[in-house]
Structure 1
Amino acid sequence: MATIKEELTEVISQTMIPEVESYIEELHELLQEGKATDDDMSAIKEMESFLVELENILLAIKEDKISDEQAQEVHENIMQLLQESEKAQV
């Protein structure tokens, strides 16, 4: 059975980071085309910051600087975000 840290690492590296990077790329395309709104500009900054946070979580797991309880809490928050995202797409 996978540990919560392994599950968290998997969901961040295989789901969250690719989705965030894809969204940032879409926003940068709007920016290059001159179609980006102020909201898009804010979203770029927020998503880039979120990406750094995700990478920091992975580093904290790798360096064993996060407890199982913290990992569980982060995992639950990410799963909730993913569920909300799925509902919004329906």
Structure 2
Amino acid sequence: MADIVSRLITPAAAAPDALLSPEDLAKRWSVPETWIREQWRAGRLHGQRLGRYVRHTEADAAAFLASDHAKGLTAPVRLIHPRRAAIHNG
């Protein structure tokens, strides 16, 4: 009985990290989901492929933010068409 109670009290210690989708990370970091997927494809952000889906652990996210890969990276900027830039610049 004590064994059952101890497992019920500390389930988080035995449970694996929660898996995060690229959408979850995008919302958390306020960046486009496509940027998250680009970082994964480039090998900068680790993740686990589950069939056709990719999932990231909290440890993957923390490692990415602590890495040199995250420093200096920016989310994609929406480019203004050259003709529109000429109109905006006068």
Larger RCO (CA under 8 A, 6+ residues apart): 1
The TM tier, using the shorter chain, reads under 0.3
Find the structure with the greater CA-based Rg.
2
TM-score by length of 2: 0.24
Write 1 or 2 for the structure with the bigger share of strand: 2
TM-score by length of 1: 0.24
